[in-house]
Every structure is written in C-alpha cells, then in structure tokens.
Amino acid sequence: MPYRAPSTLRLVAVHLALAAFTQHAVAQTKSISDDEVRIGVLTDLSGVYSDASGRGSVLAAQMAIDDFVAQNKPSFKIKLLSADMQLKPDIGASIARTWFDREGVDMITDLPSSAVTLAVMNLAVEKNKVVIPTGPASLRITNEDCNATTMHWAYDEYSQGQGTARAITEGGKKNWYFIEADYAGGKALRGGFEEAIKNAGGKVLGGSKHALGAADFSSQIVQAQSSKADVIGLANAAGDTANVIKQAAEFGVTPKQVLAASLIHITEIHGIGLKTAKGLYLTDGFYWDRNDASRAWSQRFFDQRKKMPTIVQAGTYSAVLHYLKGVQAAGTDEAKATVAAMKKLPVNDVFAENGRIRDDGRMVHDMYLYEVKSPEESTKPWDYYKLKAVIPADKAFRPIEQSSCKLVKK
C-alpha cells in the first residue's frame, strides 16, 4: 500500500491534543505545592494549656489525616509537623516563619494563645498561608484583625459568655463578681461574660485579678465572698481555673455562691474531681458522651491518649479534616482557593453538625450549656456533665452584622 503523508490538519490536531494533555499534566503536578500538603500543629507542649491542647491536638490532627486518607484516597501526600510555641508570640512567629519559608507548611492550627495566634496570622497573610486557630478565644481573630486566609474554629469569648452567663443570669442569679487572669485572654473572657450578663439584666459588682499560673488565690476568693455576689465568674483558663475551684471549695464558697467558668476543659474537671467541681456551670462545644458518633471517636482518642478529648483537640480534628476536604475540592493547596472551597462546604463531622464558615472566618455551630454532675450522679468513668441547654449556632456566636471584619459586606 503506498505511503500517504498525514494531512496538515491531522498533524495540527495531534499537536494540539498533545499540548492539551501536557498542559493538563503540568497543571495537575503543580496544583499541590511540592506534591505534598503540609500541616503544622503549633501548640503548647509544656505549659498551662498542654493538657487541653498539646500532644492531644497533635494526635487529633493525625487522626483527621488518617480518616481523610482512608475515606478519600487522595492523590497527594500529607505531612504533619508539630512544635511548642511556649505561649510566646516571638517564639510562635519564629516557628511559623521557619515552617512557611523552609518546611513548606501550608496550614497552621491549634494555637492555644490569642497573642501567638495574632502574630502568626499577620505572617500568614504575608506568606499567603492558611491559619485555623482552635485554641484561642479572642474575638479580634474574626473582627479587627480578620484576614482572608484565617478561619476561627471551636469557640470564642462571645460563645462562652452567651451560654454560661446568659443562662445563669436569666435563671435569677443577677449579681456577679469576677476572678480574672491578668492578661489579654482573661480580659477578653470577662468582656464576653459581661456583655451577656448586662443583656440578660444582670450586674457586675466588681472583680480582682491574678497572674497567669498563680498558686495562691486566697485573696481573690475572700474578696469575691465579701462582695456577696450570687455568682463568681472565673475569667481564666486551664490550671488557673482548676486551682481557683479547688481553693474556693476549701473556703466554703459553694453552695452560698455559684461558680461559673468562662473556659474549662474536661481534663481539668477530671483532675479536680466531681466532689469539688459539682454544680459548676460551663459552656462547651464538644462532649465525648453527647451521641454515638462522639463516643466512638472519643474512644479511639482515649485508646491512645488515655484521656477524653477537649473542645480544642476535637476542634483540631475537625479543622484539619475540613481543610483537607477544601484542598481536595479546590484541587490545590493555594491558600485563597482552598479557603473559598472550605467556605462552600458544610462542616459535618464528629465535632460539628451543619457548621458553616462565615465571611468573617468564624465557623459557627451549636454550643452546649452543661452542669458538672455530683459523684452520686456519675455512672461511669468520665461521666461528668449533664446537658442543661443547646445554644443554636445563630445564637451561640456574635451576629455577623455586629462584626468589624473588613471582609464582611455591610
């Protein structure tokens, strides 16, 4: 059969097809930087928040990665890094810069310090990276300091106040006195409570401050007793809250006055014991025994950690899982594209049901008001809370209409 040279049109078609295939292959290769998604858990491994976040948050992040890989079979690799920022903004920012510049980290999470979080957020904007804080409470994250690649998970000072302070005040206990940690986080937590108290018709009689990590709270407790307030609000966290509760019991504060924690974790209740903590009111976004899904996931966590997860740790699981879903949906780990994809997806996992990310970066979801059980009411290990109220997402977090975030369209 005589040879026939291919027509010019055929050659052009073949070349175009090859070019399109090559461009598609290159685009796929470049969609994930370094062919690997890298996540950093910047946490407290040695300080007052190490029990509520720390190694438990690192474990939760790894569980999220494992679950995502098992369920989605992604084409990209995933690497997890962790470091101790020692609750110091300069150290936290230095680690974040190294991660972004040298390690190619795409997203940082956990961050159980508002000051460290704000420092890392500013750096992430410069580097076009994603930040998902699950540990801090500051409203600045989604208000005056908001940015396009930061999303705030788990809770904030408003959500804590709306649950505990509003419910107690509306229940008839109108007069409050605060024992407050003398740093930005303590001031923020008290501010969230005061707003809810005043909106519910209550009154703040006064307050006293203490240093972070203080050992002796006798002076503050005596002042709180002398105030004759119905409620003593604890505007602190972690070990400070636990120590105030223990010492308040020694001074016989309850049952004459009610203790209300602005931020306390189940691991601290475990350390305090139900005999001392019984009757304490608190707001939380995650409790291991809330439903079948939370029980199953928490048991997996407990099998490795030997403690039940806190809201920060469960929130870190949710944040990492949703981030990876966003990367897969966007087809890239470029920050703005990933965030846009995440905002389109509802947050449905063991932490949140039908959660959503607003324009200001706040992930809103239901919160829960609990009362700590007495020893007689507890029927099994870690059976510490009884549900008093469900606070729906639209009530639990500050309305977006009140946001000062520049990303919110007015």
Range from 2-11, 114-123, 165-174, 198-207 carrying the lowest mean pLDDT: 2-11
**Residue 19: pLDDT over 50:** no
Round to whole Å and give the CA distance between 115 and 86: 12
Calculate the average pLDDT of the chain. Answer: 92
3-28 burial: b if 16+ Cβ within 10 Å, else e:
eeeeeeeeeeeeeeeeeeeeeeeeee
Q: Average of pLDDT values for 200-226?
A: 97
Find the farthest-apart pair of alpha carbons in the chain and give their distance in angstroms, rounded: 110
DSSP string, 347-358: B-SSS-SSBEE-
281, burial (CB in 10 Å: exposed 0-12, middle 13-18, buried 19+):
buried
**Residue 388: pLDDT over 50:** yes
**Residue 410: pLDDT over 90:** no
Residue 206 exposure: Cα atoms within 13 Å on the Cβ side = 11
pTM exceeds 0.95 for this model: no
Whether 283 contacts 391, CB under 8 Å? yes
Report pLDDT digits (tens) over 298-344.
Answer: 999 999 999 999 999 999 999 999 999 999 999 999 999 999 999 99
* Per-residue pLDDT, 279: 92
Share in percent of the chain as helix, strand, coil (round to 5) = 45, 20, 35
* Per-residue pLDDT, 188: 83
**Residue 129: pLDDT over 90:** yes
**Residue 6: pLDDT over 50:** no
**Residue 2: pLDDT over 70:** no
Round to whole Å and give the CA distance between 144 and 293: 36
* Per-residue pLDDT, 97: 99
Residue 26: band (very low, low, confident or very high) from pLDDT cuts 50, 70, 90: very low
Round to whole Å and give the CA distance between 176 and 200: 12
Q: Average of pLDDT values for 109-118?
A: 96
Residue 238: band (very low, low, confident or very high) from pLDDT cuts 50, 70, 90: confident
Task: Report the percent of the chain where pLDDT is more than 70.
Answer: 93
* Per-residue pLDDT, 335: 98
- Report all structural domains of the chain as residue ranges with CATH numbers, in order of start: 36-155+290-364 (3.40.50.2300), 158-285+368-395 (3.40.50.2300)
**Residue 15: pLDDT over 80:** no
Query: Which residues lie below 8 Å from residue 69, measured CB to CB, with a gap of 6+?
Result: 78
Q: Whose CA is closest to 274, among 367, 370, 388?
A: 370
Round to whole Å and give the CA distance between 52 and 409: 35
For tokens 């729906």, the residue is 392
Strand ranges (E), 243-354? 258-261, 281-284
62-to-47, 68, 181, 352 alpha-carbon distances in Å: 22, 10, 32, 18
Rounded to 10 degrees, the C-alpha dihedral 335/340/343/345 comes to -100
Q: Average of pLDDT values for 186-205?
A: 93
**Residue 18: pLDDT over 70:** no
Report pLDDT digits (tens) over 137-169.
Answer: 999 999 999 999 999 999 999 999 888 999 899
303, two tokens = 């099998």
Residue 347: band (very low, low, confident or very high) from pLDDT cuts 50, 70, 90: very high
* Per-residue pLDDT, 255: 86
Whether 107 contacts 127, CB under 8 Å? no
DSSP state of 3: -
Round to whole Å and give the CA distance between 337 and 298: 32
Report pLDDT digits (tens) over 82-99.
Answer: 999 999 999 999 999 999
53, burial (CB in 10 Å: exposed 0-12, middle 13-18, buried 19+):
buried
